[in-house]
Structure 1
Amino acid sequence: MAVAHPTDPSQPRTGSLRVGLFGAGRVAGQLGPALVAAGHTVAFVWSRSAAPAAALAAALPGAAVLPGLGAPLPPADVYLLAVPDAAVAEVLAAVAWPAGALVAHLAGALPLAVFEQRPGVRGGVLYPLQTFSAGRAVDWAAVPLCVEAADPGAQTLLLALARSLSRDVRPLASADRLRLHVAAVFANNFTNHLLGVADALLAEAGLPAALLAPLVRETVDKALAAASPFAVQTGPAARRDAPTLGAHRAALAAHPAWLGIYNQLTNSIQVQLMPEPGPAGAGPQL
């Protein structure tokens, strides 16, 4: 995956911008305050549900609540679509955008081409590579922000807006952003699911989930420090330890779905490693 190097942080950042914010969920709920903290003004908040929009707008000085997608839009330098991916096309089609309006979505997997349905709009992307959850604050300065735009002027403004929020800003075309999003799903969503399976197995045995915490931290730290996580793979699948693999499969017999995941991951590890292991006891163990 070809990812551009971060933009030069020494380049000047934007002044205060007026931002129209569509969405009041997990991303918008953290983006709105971050925009204000960076010196920008959130002109309005819209959400399909009125209560979340009102709550978020109340926390953003000067922000109004847009009553509906058919309402006239207050003027803004940029309109940000912090809505679910599936809702981006619907919002784009429903709003009477001012001519030449700069509208950017925040989705990882949606291409810039989604804006082709509204030729009067200057389309862009401001994709934050991070997971957002209620009650957990995000350090926006450390969040990679990937930017793409349909024209140079829009690109310049979005890059400047991104730099006002983050130290790590990268121009990234749709095809590479999609590959990045797929990688992020493996690294975050799938990893979180596997941690959930592990937690459930410990709970069945009456064991505390905290037992795994040191192992999980060392696993992530080691993988990030290695030239490739594949190079530091350990475990019975990597060792082709048939007795242990068999014991694990027997222990998972009551959970056929998890057994299927176990078998698929075991096969993937062994296919990736391919060469037969060295003598018993060689290499790292778990």
Structure 2
Amino acid sequence: MRICLVGAGRVATQLGPALLRAGHTITHVWSRTAASAAALAAQLPGAGATTTLDLRQMEAELILLAVPDAAVEPLLAQLQLPANVLAAHTAGALPLAVFASYPHLRGGVFYPLQTFSPGRMVDWATLPLCLEAADAASQATLLALAHSLSQDVRLLNSGQRLLLHTAAVFAGNFTNHVLGISHALLQEAGLPFELILPLVRETVEKALAYPPFTVQTGPAARHDAPTLARHQTALQAHPMWQEVYATVSRSIQQQAAEPSAG
């Protein structure tokens, strides 16, 4: 498949080479920054680099909008794309309906469920790819593309994908943030982060082996008020973290009290 890649950030930087390895051709890499477009295009033999908003001459079957969620709609309003071309965004929380105002396009979604960071390669073969399309032909095209990259391909509607993306933020972004808090607190105490790694591993392994709510432990789960109070005191220098601690503790207790807990 001939693909024009719009974006040169974290997703595009890993998606472009993966598509190339799967046998596809990247015709062009677009970015608002010439240096970014050129840097990614240099990794994709045969790809041109461009900053022009007029992509009507890009001979591609698919325009992949691999840009942050907030950039998709402004770009759609500015880019000039070939009539009847399939354009798909990679955003998790944006609905397919963002293409409704552009009847000259065939809209689609090609959402890779993963966190992308510079210097860390992801395993595309096991990465869930979540698809949605406005018509059967576009769906078939995206399915073929997805299956060339991954063994885990799913058709999800916009509502399902929004909840999936929300769940992913809890599982990934929020988990990373609270681990960051743990790291900072250990640094304050002059203790190594490695000290809690066995705990982190066991917590994750249990959460993957059982419904997470059913294996909840800790002072909030056992309603240990004195310990909760001491922890709040220990966090006095960090009011925002105190708030996070109190909010999550209340959520743990409320969830445990619900009949459907677990």
**Shorter-chain TM band:** over 0.9
Distance 1:75 1:95 in 2: 15
Match of residue 78 from structure 1: 62
Within-5 A mapping of 1:236-275: 236-274=219-257
Shift of the alpha carbon at 1:71? 5.0
SS class of match (1:170): strand
Unaligned runs of 5+ in 2: none
Match of residue 185 from structure 1: 169
Q: CA RMSD in A?
A: 1.0
Match of residue 161 from structure 1: 145
Q: Is 1:208 matched with 2:192?
A: yes
SS class of match (1:238): coil
1:194-229 residue CA offsets vs partner (Å, 9 max, x unmatched): 011110000000101111111111111110110x10
Bigger relative contact order (CA 8 A; separation at least 6): 1
Shift of the alpha carbon at 1:136? 0.3
**4+ runs of 1 displaced by more than 6 Å?**
none
Shift of the alpha carbon at 1:28? 0.2
Shift of the alpha carbon at 1:158? 0.1
Shift of the alpha carbon at 1:236? 0.6
Match of residue 74 from structure 2: 90
Match of residue 53 from structure 1: 37
SS class of match (1:141): coil
Unaligned runs of 5+ in 1: 1-16, 276-286
Match of residue 88 from structure 2: 104
SS class of match (1:165): coil
Match of residue 123 from structure 1: 107
1:143-182 residue CA offsets vs partner (Å, 9 max, x unmatched): 1000000000000000110000100000000000000000
Identity of paired residues, percent?
63
- Alpha-carbon spacing, 1:181–1:187, altered in 2? closer, same or farther (3 Å): same
Structure 1 letter corresponding to 2:96: L
SS class of match (1:246): helix
Distance 1:152 1:105 in 2: 17
Shift of the alpha carbon at 1:241? 1.1
Structure 2 letter corresponding to 1:249: Q
Match of residue 34 from structure 1: 18
1:43-90 residue CA offsets vs partner (Å, 9 max, x unmatched): 000011111110100110100012311354311111100011111112
Worse-superposed segment, 21-30 or 242-251: 242-251
Distance 1:119 1:229 in 2: 44
Structure 2 length as normaliser, TM-score?
0.96
Structure 1 length as normaliser, TM-score?
0.88
How many matched pairs? 258
Please tell me whether the aligned partners of residues 63 and 88 of structure 2 are also in contact (alpha carbons under 8 angstroms): yes
